[in-house]
Structure 1
């Protein structure tokens, strides 16, 4: 059994044996803002910079930064670390440059962010790195867009706001990917991650929460559709995290909470949402993200 499989299996066992904790709908909605957790300074020049023969450049938000509650960012871990391991199977001297920033939106990635960049923005930093290492970057990954949409759930889900935010994501991500592709050329693989839906956990709070879960599923579909369309403009691959997290599977499954939908159970097992009201992936979830990206490596 692979290490990532062991991590996921342990998480599922822990979940199925967990005590039922109190769920309050307002806390579920409030947890939307966890993605904007403070971030440490950006990663340095990269692991093994002196001996690198190729590079992996990672951009994005707190998922790319490997954030976990109570721990903070881990730019060498999270899903990015797992992707690097997979890349090194065929490119053993590949090294990582992770310039992601917790709390980043598609707008802040292109401009002023909470993280400091010599080039002025995360995107500009990435473009400069790609130009400086022309022909030596094997892989670029990016996950971005969730933080554009989450403010539209303050204090409840505002669909009109979310629709406008998704349009912004598509416009900005298309521009971002266009600049990255222009800096890399056609031979560098670009993989864009779509998103799982942590707010399915609201289903556990009862009828009102189940309505929230249904609406959040609709918004997830819209956001991931924008990600797919933007990716297609530059021939980027999409790592289908939504499917890996069984987002559309409502088949009932037996858990410590009783019979609940599979997609809800998956969120409980692979994120901190059902135990700490935090939307970020746990070790098992990050392993799933890493394997989903690794499956797209050419």
Structure 2
């Protein structure tokens, strides 16, 4: 059966949108993978949201585009708060300066990137891509810094935003059609695969970081009401609320636990805090139009505030 145009658009936009940044230009995606020895680190992993993406990728001067995304993204904004509020300079003296002014950001996140400069395209980041590309670097850094005798060079905070690419494409493809006969199966398969990978990621991060290092995950917001897809069919936004948060939706049934509930429960099992962004972003916080995922700077500011709340209460 032929799907409505808005359904096909939903799948395409969400699959390409929920990404991080993989650029052929190494400097565009390294984010400072080799930080200065002896100084503390804030380590970020994930997809395009963690990468700060606020619009469709620009192929011309891509490194500059990436730098602009990152400078305004939630990771950079959260880092500014950490530098001011986090005490990561242990010292015996009661007059020791508080704060973490020397904190370095290592952002391993990336976005999906088109083929350029003779390099093949890279898809948007999924949990499996985090396992393959980002987790080995993250675990090695955590073991080296948090496992040595120098408390001043520790990875002080770890954040991760990933999973959208695992879920949105398969679920919207199966469910947003006139007769969603394969919807329940698609949700079950996508949720199970995500849960396995997400638990593996957080388990390895926790084991390498140690019990005292804050790890903060992120639930996903619903951008569909604020873009062309939701404007063309308001049911898309209602559906996204349902599979993100669970509950009962006429025509689809009851979902005991939504996607965000999986993030919350797996995070709790691994001693991770959760920055809960569902319902936080609204009108004026998204790129909008045909971009049905990425926040503007105001949206990233709200996401950063959720990370601050998770970190400091």
Using structure 2 for the length normalisation, give the TM-score: 0.70
Structure 1 residue ranges (4+ consecutive) displaced by more than 6 angstroms after TM superposition: none
The residue aligned with 2:249 is none
Greater Cα shift, 159-168 or 97-106: 159-168
The residue number in structure 2 matching 1:115 is: none
How many angstroms apart in 1 are the aligned matches of 2:21 and 2:36? 30
- In the alignment, does 2:208 pair up with 1:183? yes
Structure 1 position 57 matched with structure 2 position 84: no
The answer to whether the Cα contact below 8 Å between 2:20 and 2:47 also exists between their aligned partners in 1 is no
Partner residue in 2 for 1:66: 52
1:204 aligns with 2:222: no
With over 3 angstroms needed to count, the CA separation of the structure-2 counterparts of 1:130 and 1:77, relative to structure 1, is farther
Residue 219 of structure 1: aligned partner:
243
Q: How many pairs were matched up? A: 240
Q: Superposed, which structure 2 residues align to 1:77-96 within 5 Å?
A: 77-90=72-85, 91-96=100-105
Aligned to 2:173: 154
Of 272, 275, 293, which aligns to 2:287?
272
* Contact 1:110 1:124 survives alignment (8 Å): yes
Partner of 2:13: 31
Residues 178 and 89 from structure 1, CA distance in 2 versus in 1: closer, same or farther, beyond 3 angstroms? same
Q: Deviations over 1:254-295 (max 9, x none)?
A: xxxxxxxxxxxx1x411123x343311111101111111012
In structure 2, the residue matched to 1:110 is 131
2:196 to 171, 178, 189: 171
CA RMSD of aligned residues (A): 2.2
- Give the secondary-structure state (helix, strand or coil) at the position aligned to 2:45: strand
Does structure 2 retain, via aligned residues, the 8 Å contact 1:28–1:277? Answer: no
TM-score w.r.t. the length of structure 1 is 0.74
Structure 2 matches for 1:238-249, cutoff 5 A? 238-245=274-281
The unaligned stretches of length 5 or more in structure 1 are 1-23, 112-120, 246-265
Change (3 A) 1:175 1:287: same
Kindly name which structure, 1 or 2, has the bigger radius of gyration based on alpha carbons.
Answer: 2
Residues in 2 aligned to 1:191 and 1:37: alpha-carbon distance in whole angstroms? 17
- CA deviation vs aligned residue, 1:106-140 (integer Å, no higher than 9, x gap): 112112xxxxxxxxx21111101111211511100
**8 Å contact from structure 1 (residues 170, 229) kept in 2:** no
Judging changes above 3 Å, is the alpha-carbon distance between structure 1 residues 271 and 225 closer, same or farther for their aligned structure 2 residues? same
